Structure 1
Amino acid sequence: MTALQASLFDQVDEPALTALTGLRRTSLSRGAWIDVLPGWLSGADPLFDRLAADVPWREERRQMYDRVVDVPRLLCFYDEGTPLPDPVLTEAKATLSAHYAEELGEPFRTAGLCYYRDGRDSVAWHGDNLGRGNTVDTMVAILSVGAPRALLLRPRGGGGETIRHQLGHGDLIVMGGSCQRTWEHAIPKTTKYVGPRISIQFRPRGVR
């Protein structure tokens, strides 16, 4: 696996959350929006190292048209009631639940982790709409640790501008409103050198 190059701007021994007061909201079309907060988690690099070493990562294979292919990233899912692999992630989920309580109306309950080992790992255009996100407004909060990777967003069906955010080293993005059913997001492959990244996706019950 590609080694993580530590951030020169995040020389903290242990991870710690900063205040959410710096969240910046961007309204999208069709009732969708995103909140972004760079560097929400300080000391993100030590957390990356712990997650990379300790999480029981698994490889998956999925049906793609007429063949079965490898999923180009490693995965681990923590369902409701399952302890998260680091106390700061438990704190992050509780902090997000409290901050968005009035707007979301329910807590974040699950955490899905994705490990992008290098530029060959990716996720195709999609919305988290296999569950309730297909019919109702909801939120998905993504905390990124490790090297930055480009997360792209575009309106479902085309016809709009593609939005790009470089996320890593403790950055937070929250996709809300109708985002999961009216917009799509992706982490594209790249031939450029990129270090490894882990994303932690916090979701309410029934959203995948």
Structure 2
Amino acid sequence: MKAAFQASLLALDEELGIGPLGDTVRRTHLDHGAWIDLRPGWLTGADTLFERLAEHVPWRAERRRMYDRVVDVPRLLKFYDEDEPLPDPVLADARRALDGHYGSELGEPFRTAGLCFYRDGRDSVAWHGDTIGRGSTEDTMVAIVSVGSPRALVLRPRGGGGSVRYELGHGDLIVMGGSCQRTWEHAIPKTSRPSGPRISIQFRPRGVR
């Protein structure tokens, strides 16, 4: 699937690969035992990866029941379960690097990868936490790599309170950890501003969706 995408001028000559983690990661502690790690530009040559994934991933559209009707899910999706080959070798490299950095803190490896294709500003995901499975009762981590045009990821405490906002794209990494999935919610809101396509890759441990 082809998408109208304007590559970053800074990334045109970059080789596709992953950068270091370590002390390049910046952690922000939120309320209720939640935290966020941010590593801007972790994936070099990220625009190349965007184009590969947009073209070669077998994206699918979904429909879901919403109250009394069935509606289109406003994004394209592909889920890679445990032991299912990932669509590009650099994603396997990224998962290994995340395991190396977070393994002792998380206590287990990242197992699955969920991909979402936001084609333009009309595509979105509503407020939610990844609470299907163990995320509803246990601390866990969800690591998200964003490629393509930047879009806002917004987080807010469950039950109300001030929100935080991150513009993610072009190889940025964000990790939501601690109690984040059950005490906070996150969303990719729609936007009326011109917005190019973005793909997010969400790495999760076993039993977290």
The answer to whether the aligner puts 1:102 opposite 2:104 as a matched pair is yes
The answer to whether the aligner puts 1:31 opposite 2:54 as a matched pair is no
> Does the 8 A contact of 1:12 with 1:42 survive in 2?
no
- 1:179 is aligned to 180
Q: Quick one: which amino acid aligns to residue 43 of structure 2?
A: L
SS of structure 1 residue aligned to 2:167: strand
Q: CA RMSD in A?
A: 0.9
> What is the TM-score when the length of structure 1 is the normalising length?
0.98
- Percent of residue pairs bearing the same amino acid type: 72
Query: Aligned partners of 1:81 and 1:106: how far apart in 2?
Result: 15
Q: Report how many aligned residue pairs link the two structures.
A: 207
Write out per-residue CA displacement over residues 133-164 of structure 1, whole angstroms, 9 at most, x where no aligned residue.
00000000000000000000000111x21100
**In the superposition, relative to structure 1, how do residues 197 and 134 fare at CA in structure 2: closer, same or farther (>3 Å)?**
same
Q: Of 41, 44, 56, which aligns to 1:42?
A: 44
> What is the TM-score when the length of structure 2 is the normalising length?
0.97
Aligned-residue offset at 1:2: 4.9
> Does the 8 A contact of 1:73 with 1:117 survive in 2?
yes
Aligned-residue offset at 1:15: 1.2
Query: Aligned partners of 1:79 and 1:189: how far apart in 2?
Result: 28
Q: Quick one: which amino acid aligns to residue 202 of structure 1?
A: F
Aligned-residue offset at 1:11: 2.3
**Structure 1, unaligned runs of 5 or more:** none
- 2:133 is aligned to 131
Write out per-residue CA displacement over residues 94-134 of structure 1, whole angstroms, 9 at most, x where no aligned residue.
11011101100000000000000000000000000011000
> After the TM superposition, which segments of 4 or more aligned residues of structure 1 sit over 2 Å from their partners?
11-14
The answer to whether the aligner puts 1:121 opposite 2:123 as a matched pair is yes
- 1:60 is aligned to 62
Query: Aligned partners of 2:11 and 2:3: how far apart in 1?
Result: 20
**Structure 2, unaligned runs of 5 or more:** none
Query: Aligned partners of 1:12 and 1:93: how far apart in 2?
Result: 24
Query: Aligned partners of 1:13 and 1:175: how far apart in 2?
Result: 27
Query: Aligned partners of 1:109 and 1:34: how far apart in 2?
Result: 20
